[in-house]
Structure 1
Amino acid sequence: MSTSDRRVVALLRQVVAWLVARDFVAVEARSRGVQLSAELMRQAVEEYGRTLVMPPDEAFLDIDAIAAANSDGRIWSIRFDLWTQEEGRSDLSLECNVVIDNGTLDIEVDNIHAL
């Protein structure tokens, strides 16, 4: 995926910022509760046992994303490495789908887990 769509990058950056701030309720609200609940997100981060921090700006330049089959570029499956104070780029990743529909962006958080 070209990260030239600044709206996708901005949305991903906002979700990561909420995760770093441990505002899992905000992530759940933005994702409309589809897939992963705030409690499951909290549990995944706590079980990882390290302190999330905002990635450097460069991390948002090359987002690992693929277009969903037959979606005509409207649905993007994204895997984004999260960063920790202890490790820098960590094994913990955010997996989500961004849906672009009539100029509106929606996000669905599928998983937060260690690879």
Structure 2
Amino acid sequence: MASTPKRSGGDVEDPVKDEALEVPIPEVWRPTLRAIVDSLVRRDTIIGAGLPSVDPVPPETSQLCLQAIDDYGDVALISLPDESWDTSVALWYGDRWRCLVDLWTAEEGRSDLVLDVDVFENRPGYRFSVHLVYVP
């Protein structure tokens, strides 16, 4: 049974909790996801370091993410344009949302690379856990 988004104070809708339904990335998560991608663009040694709602990313995972971008080819990752939200998705997994954020490069626009992030409820906000960058 699909859950109906509820208003949670103001104009923000709660993300959908339906294991059978891929949904667009909720607007409330987009600034944090954009900041994580900007960390990748800068090639930060630790992805998302200093972002308060992002779980610490182990150095090995950060390196794997950067290596996946390098292995993809001679491209320059860029900050997420607004169009990225047209194809990036979230899916409820019982206790969290799995998000696949389409990454963009200067050379090709939307690439085949995705950022895989889990989002957990952490009232009054959300907690983000970066998994990997890869080509699905």
1:33 is aligned to 2:57:
yes
TM-score normalized by the length of structure 1: 0.79
For residues 22-73 of structure 1, the C-alpha deviation after alignment (integer angstroms, 9 at most, x for no partner) is: 1241426633126x6221122111111221012321322553001112x3xx
Moved more, 90-99 or 60-69: 60-69
Letter in 2 for 1:8: W
How many corresponding residue pairs?
110
Q: Percent identity?
A: 29
Contact residue 28 and residue 37 of structure 1 kept, 8 A: no
1:63 alignment partner in structure 2: 88
Task: Give the conservation status (yes or no) of the 8 Å contact 2:104–2:110.
Answer: yes
TM-score normalised by the chain length of structure 2: 0.68
Query: Hey, which of these two has a bigger chunk of strand by percent?
Result: 1
Cα deviation per residue 1:61-101 (whole Å; 9 max; x = unaligned)? 553001112x3xxx210011100111110011111101121
- Which segment drifts farther, 52-61 or 89-98? 52-61
Runs in 1 of length 4+ with deviation above 2 angstroms? 26-31, 60-63
Corresponding position of 2:113: 92
Query: In structure 2, how many angstroms separate the alpha carbons of the residues matched to 1:111 and 1:97?
Result: 10
Q: How many angstroms apart in 1 are the aligned matches of 2:134 and 2:24?
A: 24
Tell me what 2:4 maps to.
none
The root-mean-square deviation of aligned C-alpha atoms, in Å, is 2.3
Residue 108 (str. 1) matches residue 129 (str. 2): yes
Q: Which has the larger radius of gyration?
A: 2
